Structure 1
């Protein structure tokens, strides 16, 4: 950060900001000149855009606990002149010691369906380890892995991912693969596509992860290029409570019909809605066999594909299933504690600033 600040604060102060203000004024008086200035501004922002791509490697993950410790100690040191010396020293020692104690994990664990727009990224966090199902999309100068997944993991104090599963190779599901591999070094990697150093994600594969039963239900064999119908379908079960969740990727109707051959493996408390709620998936028979209490769709608000399709949402609600989608509800979290589980959505639990509400409601 020291190098970035030394270079880019003067760069912004003496180059970018003056050109930006000149372009704004010129837009009102001299439109042709404004066009040239905006073009120059784009050029002068290139070094910043280029450098930000490599900044992720210099970030140091700090947990929420240590963030609190640093904040309290800083506040005490700033105000140390107005309190006795032994008081502020005692407070600093106590607060720092709380950060040194290893985190004690209880029976509570969580599943987060992240708000990644059109795509999918799900974090399963249990007893200090993380499983990641899909990585969201990537584009020319960035990715969901950099902008969403990495900050979440760093905020929670994680510098590595235990297991990464790629449902299939489409960009909106596997676009952040290389970022996660580079910066979080997953110990175990699975995919229905034949990636180098990946285990094949094929039906009947079973393993234990942090006391949870994991089983692959689909596809029947790995492929050279995994498309929607080849998505890796995973059943997650907590044997101590019986809680089950179905991860479906982007499977379509034909895959759903074949999966119906083993209905007992499909029944789940929570399911990810296949293919973001597209009309090509979620046939009523499949929904009735899974029999979930909650269905979660990972979507973008007002997306160009019209997902989730209204008839798909209706099919779930007609079956008595509670419906949530990230496009409307934001990040959706399932919290599991003992024999109980509950869900929270980011936009229901927090009050957004007025300007975000306006943008979400398309008020300009």
Structure 2
């Protein structure tokens, strides 16, 4: 099933930085197909408004990072239309409602093998609802820390934060570098400057081809030293159009552009879709 029809191909890179040309008016059919037809991995940065949700899968393994806002359940339709069956790993980066908002429904509707949370606690009803859903599910539960490594299917995951909890929910975000077919992606949730400084103590674990910009592109994150360490080819932010926070902040956009990093975001481009095959990756946008 192809719910988005034509996608616009905008960027093609390999690990050797070999470019390829696309017709800007062209497109590519996005069709998940059957598991037997998969010979690639894909990452979908869902357009869930002022919230976060990203899907990683390779036909056999499915990882979902965050589940969108508590007052916006479009992620449920996306997962259904993308024919997601089971979820091997559900990562809830931190307990704010714009990241964990639909986790309870997903735990109820899907067979989730494992859940990661930071261990930071919140007083919100959304957080309490999610904790109850985890307890009622059959999913394993972990609170990973910097230095933890694991493989889930083809995905190699290195946890780069948090080192320890401080009571700051944003800085306690689970941050991780995910590698598949030699392509590296960095996800840092809403980690802010203090957490970035902590992660910079091991800069060799930060370099990535694709960077999911921290905290929706906020100026409280995405510091110049951190971007230098990550040194990505592309940054992608998740934010709602005309959101009240002004994300992504102008100074971050300028900083990213000054460093020669291509920038895409859900507020402007809708869903952002990356396909990885044979060590090469291509980026498509919904609009």
- What's the TM-score once normalised by structure 2's chain length? 0.79
- Answer with 1 or 2: which has the greater Rg: 1
Structural mapping, 1:292-307, within 5 Å: 292-307=232-247
Q: Structure 1 residues 129 and 213, CA, compared in 2 at 3 Å: closer, same or farther?
A: closer
Higher strand share: 2
The gaps in structure 1 that reach 5 residues or longer are: 1-63, 66-100, 348-364
Structural mapping, 1:178-217, within 5 Å: 178-193=104-119, 195=131, 196=135, 198-217=141-160
Q: Secondary structure at the match of 1:229?
A: coil
Does structure 2 conserve the Cα–Cα contact (< 8 Å) formed by 1:132 and 1:164?
A: yes
Distance in 1 separating the partners of 2:168 and 2:116: 12
Does structure 2 conserve the Cα–Cα contact (< 8 Å) formed by 1:130 and 1:161?
A: yes
Distance in 2 separating the partners of 1:337 and 1:237: 12
Does structure 1 conserve the Cα–Cα contact (< 8 Å) formed by 2:38 and 2:58?
A: no
Distance in 2 separating the partners of 1:251 and 1:134: 14
Query: 1:247: how far off?
Result: 0.5
Q: Deviations over 1:251-301 (max 9, x none)?
A: 101111111111110000001110011111111111011000000000111
Q: Secondary structure at the match of 1:342?
A: strand
- What's the TM-score once normalised by structure 1's chain length? 0.63
Match of 1:128 in 2: 60
* Greater length-normalized contact order (CA 8 Å, ≥ 6 residues apart): 2
Distance in 2 separating the partners of 1:252 and 1:161: 28
1:168 aligns with 2:110: no
Does structure 2 conserve the Cα–Cα contact (< 8 Å) formed by 1:169 and 1:226?
A: no
Aligned length: 240
Query: 1:226: how far off?
Result: 6.4
Q: Deviations over 1:315-353 (max 9, x none)?
A: 011011000110001000011111210101101xxxxxx
Query: 1:222: how far off?
Result: 5.5
Q: Choose from 199, 203, 208 the match for 1:259.
A: 199
Distance in 1 separating the partners of 2:192 and 2:58: 30
Query: 1:204: how far off?
Result: 1.4
Distance in 2 separating the partners of 1:103 and 1:235: 25
Match of 1:340 in 2: 280
Q: Deviations over 1:112-162 (max 9, x none)?
A: 0000111100000112331100001113xxx42xx2x22222223333212
Higher helix share: 1
Does structure 1 conserve the Cα–Cα contact (< 8 Å) formed by 2:46 and 2:53?
A: yes
Does structure 1 conserve the Cα–Cα contact (< 8 Å) formed by 2:61 and 2:152?
A: no
| Off by >4 Å, runs of 4+ in structure 1 | 194-197
Query: 1:103: how far off?
Result: 3.9
Match of 2:218 in 1: 278
Match of 1:236 in 2: 178
Query: 1:102: how far off?
Result: 6.5
Does structure 1 conserve the Cα–Cα contact (< 8 Å) formed by 2:235 and 2:264?
A: yes
Q: Structure 1 residues 102 and 318, CA, compared in 2 at 3 Å: closer, same or farther?
A: closer
Structural mapping, 1:98-137, within 5 Å: 103-137=35-69
Does structure 2 conserve the Cα–Cα contact (< 8 Å) formed by 1:114 and 1:122?
A: yes
Match of 1:83 in 2: none
Structural mapping, 1:78-93, within 5 Å: none
Does structure 2 conserve the Cα–Cα contact (< 8 Å) formed by 1:201 and 1:222?
A: no
1:227 aligns with 2:164: no
